[in-house]
Amino acid sequence: MHRRVIDGRFELMERLGGGGMGLVWRAWDVALHREVALKEVRPPDPSMDEHDPAGARELRARVLREARALARLNHPHVATIHHIVDPGEQGYPWIVMELVTGGSLQDRIQRGAMSPQEVARLGREVLSALRAAHAVGIQHRDVKPANVLLREDGRSVLTDFGIAAVRESTSLTATGSFIGSPEYMAPERINGVEGDPASDFWSLGMMLYVAVEGRHPLRRSTTLATLAAVLNQEVPPPERAGALTPVLSALLRRDPAARPDADTLDRMLAAAADPGATPPPMP
């Protein structure tokens, strides 16, 4: 069977998934003889090149900037970027990443809720990845269980920072596309405010809530109803979170300024991961 080869080196084997930013493939690196994940970056509006060429150029440039910044991180909980294929004006970049084979956090949650200690440990790992990205000026904007991959040894890897590059794309208003996951998006971002690292922390909090409770507290039957619930309805107190409850309460505050900073959050998660430790004071 003939398979498509990218850049004369990466043979596409199997489509792994897709979203607002494009498709992810399992691929074979014919030079180094190893499997990799290949992300095919594409705008949400296929006609963007035609009706907004300036926006398309800016999108390409921003995708490349963010991919290069992430490639320099070398962080154990950020998916490693091996290579970037830049076709120039003829197409959008392909990002070559490590292939993480243990499934996603979403797959794990579908098998049942996790213990508060497990979730707290995972939360610290994802928080460390977010802190590393924030330190180089990148906000994730789409923290959710499907974007947390699990290595075979159980360690987590945060992936798909791509929403950051398409959020400002002018094609979004032209086509009405909705980029991101409304049930995990911070209220201020739904309201059109760019947000800051605290907005990623809301999404982290909602993800941890779902992991420990096994259900999403504000998901409704339609996207619009979910958006309205996130904007207007209080998050019901968790029932299974135990020592993780103060963390969830602190993160899921509607005022971004009231959410804990990264240092405080890490101490709170450490205490929840080790219930025998002395808990830190509430922020």
pLDDT score, position 173: 39
pLDDT digits (tens, 9 = 90+) for 17-71: 776 567 889 999 999 999 999 988 877 666 766 777 787 778 788 788 878 888 8
CB atoms within 10 A of CB 14: 9
Q: Mind listing the domains of the chain with CATH numbers?
A: 5-97 (3.30.200.20), 105-273 (1.10.510.10)
The answer on pLDDT for 179 being more than 70 is no
pLDDT value of residue 170:
38
Active site residues: 142
Identify the weakest region by mean pLDDT among 124-133, 178-187, 192-201: 178-187
Cα distances (Å, whole numbers) of residue 111 to 152, 218, 253: 16, 20, 29
What's the burial of 152, exposed, middle or buried (CB within 10 Å: 0-12/13-18/19+)?
A: exposed
Q: In terms of Cα–Cα distance, which of 218, 225, 214 is closest to 203?
A: 218
Question: Which has more pLDDT, 262 or 51?
Answer: 262
* Rounded-to-integer distance, Cα 227 and Cα 230, Å: 5
The dihedral over CA atoms of 190, 209, 17, 128, expressed in degrees to the nearest 10, equals: 90
Name the pLDDT band for 73 (thresholds 50, 70, 90): confident
Dihedral sign, Cα of residue 59, residue 65, residue 63, residue 231: negative
Q: Which residues contact 234 (CB under 8 A, 6 or more apart)?
A: none
